[in-house]
Chain A
């Protein structure tokens, strides 16, 4: 009963993760189990010092995290707080904001292309720049395309966060809110000093989700332009060295290990909080 699930987990998750680490120190053609050559830190040297896309990718992942952390997640919280109050039609609003959460990020990339297209997109037409030389190519211009992708990603992210916070807010004892307002706290004080701290468990999960979503970001930029020209991300680099024309397994694995090490930070924080009381 424990055996099969554990075996699946081992073979399809944990051994591949360890294999990524091992492969990052080797040169391998992937053609058979014989062609391994120990390569020391050569792959890492390439990743950190020579791969032209590495540092841009790191920067873009950081921008991704900051954008979701400063705009996407707080927007979701704001929607949840507004919809949790006694507002008429709360269900309808919730349905609207939650709709994009059902869509794949790949599809979201396509739907927003219809908004962003240089001459035929809705945005440039509303701005009146469509068809003029001043029309911005939102997906093509490397100065803005990261933010264009992030707006589209936020369209989905905010609804997701909203739902999680709506559940979190329902878990807050109304009595402490009442007590706060009896003590003369206004709405804002009650929220920031009482309600928000009371949702500590939800807050942690949302921080972890925001960080992990930023590290996992892949689909939307891959649909837009295969993650090039301003949309490089760590996840894209791994795939590029895996399925690209210049397949170099060792280097792709070194990129994967970098992403793994960064990902372990939020994962360890989350796990140690979640399982602290169970040992």
Chain B
């Protein structure tokens, strides 16, 4: 039995290999064309980032003397130190962390509840709700911006909670706007994932006397973990990269997250490209770390959203 399998496999492998070689020989020039195109494209793709890194490593005195398009002078991290201290990155990163973590946690919690309800129970308005949720995320956020701004402005909060007396100029406001906007997409993705979990599992739990909450927390959520991980990674990047809501809802510079604060850096570091590029690289680092560590999750999240349906 084992031998047969092995032999068959080997045969298959040989067959595959020969097909592969045949194809490669047939497509010889085409393959080299593909390599050439991809390599040139990849180099072009890397240039903007490498140029930013290169510029950031050179002191302004050297680039003033030699020009930016030059080699020579000294190289070091002084621009990073200066950008960090002058740019107030610590505050911005702090704001980014608060906004990102809170938004992603709230979004995944509410979206998973919603997805659980519409995918595990048949209810009249399931599809209608799901359509409404999905459509909401597809709108350009600018369409909602004016009413949300006015709503947040008109909501009266005690000064003990909000120093602006409203939801404007508060991180909470940004978190709410982002959560509202992201729930639709996450519900759509999670409901597709949960639909694929066999209904028998829920039935078995019900027979054992599990209520709705127990099914959600003990049965479905543990099985949804891969989708939550992928979606969570994707959402962290989305929210960290969100530029729009803080731009509209935050007025004090020191409450901005890093992505929106870039605008101010541009003004502050005007014509000092060495500092500006260092600031840009500092801003890229968190996303790059997440990307390199969780690339698989991120790509899974992207395609999870796009391939179903």
Q: Which A residues contact B (CB, under 8 angstroms)? A: 1-2, 4-6, 8-9, 11-17, 19-20, 23, 30, 32-33, 79, 82-83, 85-87, 92-93, 95-100, 102-107, 110-115, 117, 120-122, 125-126, 130, 155, 159-160, 163-164, 167-168, 171, 187, 201-202, 205, 208-209, 212, 215-216, 218-219, 222-223, 234-235, 238-239, 241-243, 249, 252-253, 256, 259-260, 263, 266-267, 270-271, 273-275, 278-279
Asked whether B42 lies within 8 Å of A97 as measured between CB atoms, the reply is yes
* Closest-CB distance, A20 to chain B (whole angstroms): 6
Instruction: Please give, as numbers and ranges, the residues of chain A lying within 8 Å of B93 by CB-CB distance.
Output: none
- The verdict on A256 contacting B146 (CB below 8 Å), with A117-B273, A163-B302 known, is yes
6 additional A-B pairs beyond A104-B243, A107-B241, beta carbons within 8 Å, are A5-B183, A8-B176, A9-B183, A111-B277, A120-B273, A218-B244
Q: Which B residues contact A (CB, under 8 angstroms)? A: 20, 23-24, 27, 30-31, 34-35, 37-38, 41-42, 45-49, 51-52, 55, 63, 67-69, 110-111, 113-114, 116-118, 127, 129-136, 138-151, 153-154, 176-177, 179-181, 183-184, 187, 212, 216, 237, 240-244, 247-248, 259-260, 262-263, 265-266, 273, 276-277, 280, 283-284, 287-288, 290-291, 295, 298-299, 302-303, 306-307, 309
- The verdict on A87 contacting B31 (CB below 8 Å), with A5-B111, A271-B134 known, is yes
User: Which single residue of chain B is at the shortest CB-CB distance from A85?
Assistant: B34
In the complex, A7 Cα to B11 Cα: how many Å?
60
Instruction: Please give, as numbers and ranges, the residues of chain A lying within 8 Å of B31 by CB-CB distance.
Output: 85, 87
In the complex, A271 Cα to B37 Cα: how many Å?
37
Task: Tell me which of A2, A114, A130, A266 contacts B276 (CB under 8 A).
Answer: A114
User: Which single residue of chain A is at the shortest CB-CB distance from B150?
Assistant: A30
Instruction: Please give, as numbers and ranges, the residues of chain B lying within 8 Å of A159 by CB-CB distance.
Output: 45
The DSSP consensus for interface residues of chain A is helix
Asked whether B136 lies within 8 Å of A14 as measured between CB atoms, the reply is yes
Instruction: Please give, as numbers and ranges, the residues of chain B lying within 8 Å of A79 by CB-CB distance.
Output: 38, 41
Instruction: Please give, as numbers and ranges, the residues of chain B lying within 8 Å of A171 by CB-CB distance.
Output: 307
Task: Tell me which of B140, B179, B299 contacts A259 (CB under 8 A).
Answer: B140
Asked whether B113 lies within 8 Å of A4 as measured between CB atoms, the reply is yes
* Closest-CB distance, B173 to chain A (whole angstroms): 11
The 5 A-B residue pairs with the shortest CB-CB distance, nearest first, are A12-B180, A125-B69, A104-B241, A19-B147, A16-B147
In the complex, A208 Cα to B139 Cα: how many Å?
12
Asked whether A83 lies within 8 Å of B142 as measured between CB atoms, the reply is no
Task: Tell me which of A9, A100, A249 contacts B132 (CB under 8 A).
Answer: A9
Instruction: Please give, as numbers and ranges, the residues of chain B lying within 8 Å of A235 by CB-CB distance.
Output: 140, 142
Instruction: Please give, as numbers and ranges, the residues of chain A lying within 8 Å of B48 by CB-CB distance.
Output: 111-112, 114-115, 155
Asked whether B135 lies within 8 Å of A267 as measured between CB atoms, the reply is yes
Asked whether B49 lies within 8 Å of A99 as measured between CB atoms, the reply is yes
Asked whether A87 lies within 8 Å of B34 as measured between CB atoms, the reply is yes
In the complex, A273 Cα to B134 Cα: how many Å?
13
- The verdict on A99 contacting B273 (CB below 8 Å), with A2-B129, A122-B51, A218-B244 known, is no
